[in-house]
Amino acid sequence: MTDHSASVETPAPGSRMPAWLPRAMVLAFALLGLFELVNWAAHALIGIAVMMTVAFFIALAMEPAVDAMAARGINRGLATAAVFIIVFACTIGFLVTLGILMVETVGNVLDELPRLLDELVSWVNHTFHQDFTVHQLRDRLFKDSDVISAYAERAANNVWGLSNTVLGGFAKVVTIALFSVYMTADGPKLRRSLCSLLPPAKQGAVLHAWDLAIDKTGGYLYSRALLAVISAVIHGAFLWLLGLPNAFALGIWFGVIASFVPTIGTYIAGVLPVLVALTIEPIDAVWVALFVVVYQWIQDYMLQPRITARTVDVNPAVALLSVIVGGALLGAVGALLAIPATATLQAFLSEYVKRYEVAADPRIERRGRIAKAHRQVPASPDKTPPPSDR
Mean pLDDT along residues 173-177: 86
Q: What is the DSSP letter of 264?
A: T
pLDDT recorded at residue 212: 82
How many residues does the structure list for the chain? 390
The C-alpha atoms of residue 255 and residue 257 are separated, in whole angstroms, by: 6
pLDDT exceeds 70 at position 383: no
pLDDT exceeds 90 at position 85: yes
- For the chain, how are helix, strand and coil distributed in percent, rounded to 5? 80, 0, 20
The C-alpha atoms of residue 107 and residue 105 are separated, in whole angstroms, by: 5
In this predicted model, what pLDDT tens digit does every residue of 210-233 receive, in sequence order?
Answer: 888 888 888 888 888 888 899 899
pLDDT recorded at residue 140: 58
pLDDT recorded at residue 375: 56
pLDDT recorded at residue 187: 86
pLDDT recorded at residue 137: 62
Distance, C-alpha 128 to centroid of its chain: 43
The C-alpha atoms of residue 208 and residue 216 are separated, in whole angstroms, by: 12
Mean pLDDT along residues 358-372: 65
pLDDT recorded at residue 10: 53
Q: Where are the domains of the chain?
A: 76-143+165-352
pLDDT recorded at residue 127: 80
pLDDT recorded at residue 163: 63
In this predicted model, what pLDDT tens digit does every residue of 95-114 receive, in sequence order?
Answer: 887 788 777 777 777 777 67
> HSE of 137 in the Cβ direction (CA atoms, 13 Å)?
11
Can you tell me whether residue 78 is helix, strand or coil? helix
pLDDT band at 250 (very low <50, low <70, confident <90, very high): confident
User: pTM to 2 decimals?
Assistant: 0.66
pLDDT band at 390 (very low <50, low <70, confident <90, very high): very low
In this predicted model, what pLDDT tens digit does every residue of 255-307 receive, in sequence order?
Answer: 888 888 766 778 888 888 888 888 788 788 899 999 988 888 888 778 777 77
- Give the rounded percent of residues in the chain with a pLDDT score beyond 70: 76
